[in-house]
Amino acid sequence: MGSVIKKQRSLKRIRINLPVIYTYSDEHKLTENKGTTADISGSGIGFYTDKPLRTGLRLDVKIPHIWDNTRTCVVRWNSMKSPGCFRIGASLL
């Protein structure tokens, strides 16, 4: 009859719109960029930025209005929403 759909997320996401600053090291160079949060949970963060980020990339993320310290996360996926606007999904470590 009806099938049960299992949700992948165990923690509730909160939609939030705040500035985010992220840094990453790639090819012996440290890069810092900014974006805007889309949602956040205890296990991950979604945000918008102007560049695609490759899956598996480790980021140090700052959201000054929420966290006192930088948090490390790993990019799980990215999706182009429009030219120059990418949605990033990352898991907190």
Question: Which residues share a beta bridge with 42?
Answer: none
Q: For the chain, what are the domain ranges? A: 14-92
As given in the structure block, the two tokens for residue 84 are: 């120059």
The pLDDT tens digits of the residues spanning 3-42 come to: 444 445 566 888 989 999 999 997 789 999 999 999 999 8
Beta strands in the chain (DSSP E): 14-15, 19-26, 29-40, 44-49, 58-62, 71-82, 85-92
* pTM reported for the whole predicted model: 0.84
Higher pLDDT, 90 or 12: 90
As given in the structure block, the two tokens for residue 32 are: 């810092």
Fold of 14-92: Thrombin, subunit H (2.40.10)
As given in the structure block, the two tokens for residue 62 are: 């700052």
